[in-house]
């Protein structure tokens, strides 16, 4: 077995700081590098190099108007350069999103991420946290949004990132751990 540690990169766009807070929670759980997509939808050359070298890539974007932000979409379209040469083939993928509304069509954003990972020939990691869906459930419980694909968060439109649900952030952190654990299993198997 290989002793090589799998590397994870969280690539995200954040419009108001909420997605950045989720990205930091995922990165904490995964021991990952953060790569921010800027307000113009660009990623640094170092960011692209980190993605190419990573064993796992986690996508993050707020859900705006039923899908990922245009800045994330620009990044995704630019990733076609990696697609042409299969640079991200067989990498482990994940993602996360948030919106101001309880539903907010966040599922559409996560499905977009799954499809993007599939186009790159990647392997998607599901959330693996059962939903908090009983009468006793509270706002700060893990997976209160009831997602199975990946973490979803909700924060009121007039709330600061510091007011996000602790449960949403814990769900993101636990997901980061899961993605890193799966990536490590694949990295170890490749070294065997």
- 6-27 pLDDT tens trace: 999 999 999 999 999 999 999 9
Q: How confident is the model at residue 4 (pLDDT cuts 50, 70, 90)?
A: confident
> 144 and 137 in contact (C-beta within 8 Å)?
yes
Residue 191 in this model has a pLDDT that exceeds 70 = no
Under 8 Å between Cβ of 39 and 119? no
| Residue range 98-134, pLDDT digits in tens | 999 988 899 999 999 999 999 999 999 999 999 899 8
Phi/psi region, residue 124 (left: phi>0; alpha: psi -120 to 50; beta: rest), is beta
């Amino acid at each position: 077995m290989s002793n090589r540690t799998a590397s994870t990169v969280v690539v995200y766009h954040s419009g108001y700081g909420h997605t950045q807070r989720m990205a930091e929670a995922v990165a904490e759980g995964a021991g990952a590098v953060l790569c921010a997509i800027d307000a113009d939808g660009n990623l640094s050359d170092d960011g692209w190099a980190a993605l190419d070298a990573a064993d796992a890539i986690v996508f993050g974007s707020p859900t705006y108007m039923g899908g990922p932000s245009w800045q994330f979409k620009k990044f995704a379209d630019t990733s076609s350069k990696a697609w042409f040469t299969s640079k991200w083939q067989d990498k482990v993928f994940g993602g996360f999103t948030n919106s101001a509304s309880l539903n907010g069509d966040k599922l559409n954003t996560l499905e977009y991420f799954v499809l993007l990972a599939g186009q790159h020939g990647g392997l998607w990691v599901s959330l693996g946290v059962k939903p908090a869906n009983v009468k006793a459930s509270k706002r700060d419980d893990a997976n209160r949004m009831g997602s199975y694909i990946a973490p979803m968060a909700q924060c009121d439109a007039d709330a600061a990132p510091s007011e996000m649900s602790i449960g949403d952030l814990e769900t993101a952190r636990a997901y980061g751990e899961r993605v890193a654990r799966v990536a490590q299993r694949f990295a170890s198997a490749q070294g065997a």
